[in-house]
Structure 1
Amino acid sequence: MAVYVGDYKNTKAAKSALMINWANKQVIQPALDAQYSGTQFQINHTVGIDTSKLLVAKTGVRGANDLVWVGRAANWAAKLTTLSHDTPTWITKAVYDKLNDEAKFTNGNNMWRHHLWTSMKNSDIYSSSWWWSVS
């Protein structure tokens, strides 16, 4: 889990997810194919992004503490990761509405496709199979 704060946090999160997709397609999968040329194993991933206020609490027993995130963004982002890896980046409408154009469009083409999330009361969500090159 990653948490983004500050200005342009939604754009930064979306670009990071698109960079993960690039790394999977351009670095990880080719390295796997080169190492294990006799297999057809395919690396798949799904990233979910939502935005909301979050509460973080340090819980556990002494020496075995962990951070627990409470809020819609943590919950919905986790649920988005269960959706199809055919379009590996999923965002909520709240994120989409706050994206800068650089993270929405490439050469005038929208990188995001609208869906209704039926299991979440037909909430508006968006998916993308585009990637963002890591420079």
Structure 2
Amino acid sequence: MTEDATEGGRVSGEGGGAGEDLLGPDELGVARLGERATLVQFSSAFCQPCRATRRTLAEVAEMVPGVTHVEIDAEGRLALVRALGIVRTPTVLVLDRDGRIVRRAAGQPRRADVIAALGHAV
């Protein structure tokens, strides 16, 4: 995703602030990561853009083989939110197959930008 990808959001490239730390199924609270990539969405209960982001990421995960979408309630996972430097919702992290953050975007992304960001993960 690029800075243009997040209507008013901020984006960072490689690493996304988490350095070389890996996010695994245990940290995310899921059974397993996607075979090729994982789209991690941090949301909050009354966030309207989070709902639209959920639909977009679910559509992309359905379209692209080996990609999984995981949504995390930011309020319920404050330690993880703090560790990753999440400051607003929605925030989307694109993880490669090993759980390394390769792209990060705050704000509601467009489908085309999510697909392009996946190119950095697979």
TM range (shorter): under 0.3
TM-score by length of 2: 0.27
Q: Over alpha carbons, which structure has the higher Rg? A: 1
TM-score by length of 1: 0.25
Specify which structure has the bigger relative contact order, considering alpha-carbon pairs within 8 angstroms and separated by 6 or more residues.
2
